[in-house]
Each structure stands twice: as structure tokens, then as C-alpha cells.
Structure 1
Amino acid sequence: MLPFSLEVLFGIGVMSAIQQVLFERISPRMNLWEFLQRHELTETRFQNLMTTMLKVNAVLSDAEEKQITNLFVRQWLDELKDTTYHTADFLDEIHSLALAKSQGSDSPYLKKLVQKHIPKLKEMTDKLENIAKHKDVLGLKASFSGKPSPRLQLTSLVDETEGQGGSSIKELGELLHLGGKLSILQLQNVGDAKDAEDADLKKKKNIKELEFSWSRTDRADEGTNQTTILENLHPPENIEKLSIKGECRLLQFEDTMDYPQLQDLSIKSCDFLKKLTLNFSSHLKTLKIHDCGYLRFLKISDNLHQDLNFFRELEIIKCPYLEIFSGRGLPAPNLTSFSVSSCNSLRSMPLQMCTLLASLQTLDISGCPKLVFFPNGGLPPSLQILTIKNCVNLTPQNAWGLRNMTSLICLTIECAYANVTSFPDEHLLPASLTCLQIIGFPGLITLNLSGLRHLTLLKSLEIHSCNRLQFLSGDWRLPSSLSSLKIVGCSSQLTEQCQRVGGIYWDKISHIETQSITATN
């Protein structure tokens, strides 16, 4: 589970300053969460500790006013003050342990200290929970009236862990001024969709980042219930970053235009998502779709009224049934990074890439064996880094338009092209290349030096797992600009012919500062 930060508005006063000390120690910059997970400091207790602090802070303004006339409230605040300082000291100790661990210390003494802190965490949590219970007895109420107050950063989360008395999603409804980043996890355990409605997220305009997460479940009633829950968890319209993770059935996200300020959208592990139509927010910068096992169609809406001028990054990974990008293309003139990986059924890329993606710099296409061709017009000439891996049915390289990519710096091709015996063809590659990698060509026998001689900027050439490679053809040397040559997994014949003494190819490579040529074992 990942931490998240919330911003909560507190009343101005002494207790607010005390709470600031505690919340700074819970700040995510201290990297406590990974340490807690690895060293058995019960994560649920730590979450409960922070949730309790949320509840206490909600009534601080009321308590500070009432302490003047109510002795019991004053005693309650004194007890809270002492416990807060003790908790802050405890968190300092935890942070020191985490820091020692991050710097490589793993001594038996450190492990003993970790074990020592497990019961101490329980003690701190129990004390604060006991104090929190008395707020209701004292009649303290959440109050956010008055002048705007300072914002404090804290780390917490809402975890609907089944069968445990952790924080509940409906408790968010009492926290009127939540802000920053909010993560709501284990949503499959929410039994009543009204709890999601009571959270009233739509009205919490200060929340900028939201994460919704479901885990795997076999409950028969999940479908209808979880769909209702998702509908009731309507994000505020000014949300900037949204992450949806898990097996929420019938998930549809076709109305991103409802969120005009949305900048980052992430959808992961939604196994029941079969199609996705995106009416993009005009401010969208990043879209990531991962591990959606049954997603078949990704449609870019034809109803876009303007180009996606802010869109910078598109990443689609492990969607094995995704077949096509439908629509008339992706009008993203400032998109710089596009990655498609492990999409075994993908047959085509978005249309008009050459013109619509005029600023694309990095393109990575990996594990798409059914991809046969690129769209008409080829790839954008703005590309600087191009990686093609395990796309065995993709049209021959001379149809990619590589020669026209005058900005291309790094090219990696890793594909089992059994029919490619010589590479590269003359004038196939652009003269701008500085880095070239060729990997896994089982039929490659000849490295064609005439196809490399015009690469006057080439610095690094790597060839891996081309077991039959044995010839360097042509009367030319490898480019004089080369400073590194690495050939791993070639024929023993080539290795022998590149030797300083007696090697017929030595003159072709002798000028290269760093060279390594090893045969297949």
C-alpha cells in the first residue's frame, strides 16, 4: 500500500503548533512506509494512528475555545499535548531506524531495536484512541469557521480492511477541508454504497489527487454494488490527478471532460474493463493504462473540440487483448513519450502519427507480435529515441521511414527476424544516429558496413544474440566516430577474424577505443 498526504485546515492556536510537530514527522518525505512493511511494524496500526489524529484535529478549534471555561477540556488538551510529544519522539526514533536501514545497516542490534518498537507503536496508538473517544463525551464538535487557517501536511490513508476496526470511508464526510492527495484502498470491502456517498468527495474542492483501489474478490454481489460505489465516489470537478486500480466491475470512464483540470489519469489492473472511450480533458498531461487484461478497444473520441496541447506522455502496458486504437488519431501536437508494451493482440497504432504527433521524441513498442504495419505516412520525423522489441510481424525496416527521421539519436531493434540475413541496408538509417542496438536476429549472418559508413556521428554500436553473425562485409571500416563496439553472442568465426593478430577484420575495428567481441557459449 502506498502512503498519501492530506491537507487539513486547523484552528490557529497552541495545539495546532503541537500537532504541526507530529504531522511533520509523519510526512511522506521520511520514507517510513517501506520500512514499516519490511520490519513488521504493523501497517494497520500506523494507519489507525494517523486516522485518529485526523479525528482529534477536526475538533481542535472548538477545544481551544472551550478550554477557557471548561476545566475538563483543558485537561483533555494537556493530555493530548503530552501524548503528541511522546508520539513525535517515537516517530523520530522510527525515522532514525529507517535511515540507518536505508544506508545499509542490517545488524542484529538494529533488528532488536525494531522488535522493541512494535509494542511501543501499540501503546502510542491506544493512548491517542482513548483521547479521541473522550472528544464526544466532552461535546467537542468539528469546526472550521473563522479565518482561513494554516495548512498542515500529514500522511494517512483510508483503508476499508474487512473485519478490522480501521478508518471508514464515510468518516471523510466530517472532514470538510481535505486537500492534497487522498488514497482510498480495499474498496471491495465497502458493504454499503451509501458510505461512499457520505464521503461527499464531490464537494471537497481542495483535493487535487485521488487514488481508488480495489483488490481481488470472489463476492457474487460485487458487480452492481461496486459500480454504485464508484458512482458515489464522484471526484471533485477540479481534480488534477486520478488513479483507479483494481477489479471494479463495469468500470467506464468515458467522461473525462467532466474534469477540465485533470492532468494525470492512471488505470491499472481493471480486469473487467473491456472498452474505453476517452473524451480528454484539455489539460491532460499523462495517461497510463496498465494490466487491464480484457481491454479490447481504446477509442479516442471524435468529438474533441481542440487539440490536446498539454498531453505529454501515453503509456499502455500489459493489455493482452487490446486490438486497435480506434478513431481518427490522437491530436496531441506536444506529446513527447509514447510506450506500448506486452499488448499481444495489438494490430495497429493510432492513425496519422506522422502529422498529429509532431513533437514525439520517444517511442517504445515492445511485445506486440500481431502489429503488422505503421500508419500511412510512417513515424514522426521528430523522434529521437526509437525502440522496437518483439514485433516479429512488423513490416520490413525499409518501410518504417527511418531515413527521414533526421532527429533520431538512439535506435534499438530486438526482433526474431529469421529472414534478415544482412543488416542494415544501405541508406536505411538516418545519419543523426549516435547509438545503435541490434538484438536477437537469428538469421543475421552479415553486418553490412556500407549501411553504416554514412553514420558519422555514431558513438556506440551493440549487437547481442545474433548467433550466426560471422561477416563484416564491404571495403569500409566501421565509422571513425565509434568509441564503443560490443558484440555478444556471435559466431566463433567472427571472434577469430576480429583478433589483433591474424584477424582479417582487425583493420575495420582497430580505431575503436573500447571493443568487446564474444562468441556464443
Structure 2
Amino acid sequence: MLFLPFWSCYLPSCLTLYSTLWPITGKSTSNSSCGNPYYPRSKLNHAEEKQIKDEGVKNWLDDLQDFAYDVDDILDDFAYQELRLKLQKTRAQASTSKVQKLIPTCCTGGYFSPISFMFNAKMISKITAITDRLNSSNTRRSSLGLSEIMSQGATSKGKKPRLQPISLMDGAVDNNSDGVCVLSILGTGGMGKTTLAQLVYNDPSIKESFDHKSWVCVADDFDAVNITQTILRSLDADSRDENDLNLLQVKLKEKLSGKRFLLVLDDIWNESYSDWTILRAPFAAGTKIIVTTRLEKVSSNVDSVKAFYLDKLSHHDCLSIFAQHALKARSFAGHLQFKEIGENIVRRFNGLPLAAKAIGSLLRTVQDHSEWEKVYESEIWDLPEDPCGLIPALRLSYHYLPPHLKRCLAYCSIFPKDYEFEEEEIILLWRAEGFLQSKAKIQGKGLGKQYFQDLVAGSFFQRSSKDKSRFVMHDLMNDSAQLVAGEI
């Protein structure tokens, strides 16, 4: 007779519950079962959209996330107990004693052993507590007004340490009297500042005009030591890391002596003039610096010889970009059924090329006119721009991702801005996290490749301009991933 452990009847319910939680938590499980989920995906979609405006909803989602991790621990306990019982059964069957064969396995360390009874009691207590928390969460959900609807940031940083004194003198006290030429590219997020800088940086004539060039993504953390180290490594791959800013800058000055050097500092936010003067101290005549920033004060601080202001795209140009990504065409001439709704959607972009690319990619395979209308009528368009510059179009493109891609994208918030990665690298990390488990025939690496290509097609990943075998996330896409990942 086969004795089944008491908890086997609970396992399908736990898996059903857990499989409804992973779209928010980023967690996953290798099994799933049928039945009505406690939190339908449509309700979670509603919560994800509503949390942007309601702090109470955000707190509820945070608690739900903690709850999902506790369920994950229970499933781990189940898996361990199952493995232990299988091992005991194998050992018992391997025994040659006829007397032992007459004794049921359950009485020799199996399901009715003292250890199993202790486990059963422990699991009853845990499942009871989980059920109570689930009921409480459901009550809170109702009080928050999270109704069922039909629909398909970063950890706070500590105080920045004060920069060390350096021995080098800064010559930029009189409008670039040190011979350093600084150009700045100004524009709002998603306007194409980085793209313009890349076009210049990779132009063939640049290679002929300079002895060395270096690209540094500065982003939120203006770390003079790290920036200087990055520049040194670009000049000498064998350069030893050093935390003393003065020594680093002396080395950099020596290497650049008499050389023509192009430096791109992408996405600067730091408005401190003193920090800038310390950073530029090693540079002298022959150095050209391109700075991209959203802040006019930054452009002023870096003593730009010229500032290039990127204006919004015209409606016609924005429509063309949108059509290229949504319809693989330069216009709506061959797709008149989408022309009116397409033009209405484009007016939502406010002239931002990144918005046209993101939403165009979102609708690339959508042939249902009503789905285009849903995108146009979404309340997300009416939300104010995030303090970090996250535009509504990116929130919307994330909102319509299927759950399995949402958790994969949220995981990528671990990468710093401008980090270049290979497809295989990301797939292996997703696989290690258990994100690539499915009932479908495609498994493991094949499933990961499909997920990766889906995110590339959605413009969440783009090929590096420096190495076509590698990929990178736009800084606003990175902000998007950090926002949805929260403080995980």
C-alpha cells in the first residue's frame, strides 16, 4: 500500500497560490496547477498601475511580495521533505534483510516516523498562518478598491563621500584656458542625447583625429575615483585599480601628455562645480570632452564652448519612427485602418523619439484595432513624469509586458547604467533564478533565448554601438527596471 504524506493535498493549492504571485515578485516555480487563483493577474495589473498614484496600494504590493517569499520558503520545505522521503525509500528497498522487507517503509523512517510527524505539525502551523495572512491581504485589497479589470527604483543611496584633495591644479578658471574643449548636449530624457554622442564617438573620422578615446556613463553616481579608473582602463587594460584619486589623476595626466584625447561623459546629473573642477584636473590641451545631460546647470558648470539643445521631433518625424517599429513601414500608407488611431497615439509622445520607439515596439505584432485603442486610452499617459525622468510611454510599455517578461526585466535592474552584456550571460542568470521553467516544450536555454529576443524586439535591450555582439539598456529603460524592482 502506498502511503501519501498528509501535505500532498496542500501542495497543489500552494502552487496555485504561488503561481499567481510571481508576476509581481519576480519569483517563479517549476510547477503550476489548475484552479481559480487567489489574486487574478487582472487584479495585479490593476494594482501595479494604481500603486503609481496610491501609497497604500504600493504598501500592499510590498507586503504581498514579502508574503510570496514566505510561500517560497514553504515550497522549499516541501521539496526537501519529498527528497528526504525518496532517499529513505531507496535505502529501504536496497536492504537485503527479509525481515525489513516485511515491515512497511512508513514504519522505518517514512511518513509516520517521529521526524515526519514533527514536520507535519510544523507545516500545519505555517499553512494556517499563511492562510490568515492571505485572507487579511484580500480584505486590504478590497478596501483599497482594487477591482478586476481586463488588461493583458532604486534603493536609496547613502551620503556621497567628500572628494579627496588632489595635487593637480585645474586650469579651467578662465573659459577653457587649459586648452580643454568641452561640448554639451542638452535635452529631456528620451530625446536622443546619448544616440547623438554615439554617432560622433563612432564616426570613422574620430579615430583618425584622436590618439585615444573613452566613454564613461556617469548617471546618478558622480564618483571621480571610479570615472578616472574607467578612463585609465580604456587607455591601458592592465592598469591596476587604485583608490587614491591623486595617484590616479597623476597617472592619467602622464598617459595623456602630448596626446589627442576624446572623452564622452554620458548622462551627468551632478550640479557641483567643485566636483567637476576636480574631475577635469588631469586634462590639458588636446582633450575634447562631450557631456550629455538633462540639466542646464550642468552645462554651465562644465564651461561648455558650445551647448547643443535637442528639440522635440516634429509630428511627422515621430509618426515615421512609430510606423517603422509598429508596422515595419515608413508611413501608414499601406495600413490605413491604423492611421487615425496611430496619429492619436503619436500625439501622446510629446515629440520624444524613445516614446515612439517603445510604444511602436509594443504594438509591433498587435493587429487588433481595439488593442491600439486601449493603449491610447490608458490612464498612464496622464500621470506626471517621474522625478528620475521616467516617461509615461516606458511605464506603459512595461505594463503591457506578459508576466514572465516583467520579472526578467525587473531582474536586470541589478546592472549599472550603460553596462554591456551578452545574451548568454543574461540567459544563464535568468535560468539560475528559476525564470525559465514552463510547461511548454521549449525549455532552458531555448526559452531564455526567446525571452531575450522578445525584450530586444520591445526595445528594452538594444545592441551596443561599441560591440555588436553585446547589448545595453537605455538609461531610462534601466530606470524603469529599477522602479518596478523596488528595493528587492
Q: TM-score, normalised by structure 1?
A: 0.21
TM-score, structure 2 normalization: 0.22
Whose strand proportion is higher, 1 or 2? 1
Q: Which has the higher contact order (CA 8 A, sep 6+)?
A: 2
User: By percentage of residues, which structure has more helix?
Assistant: 2
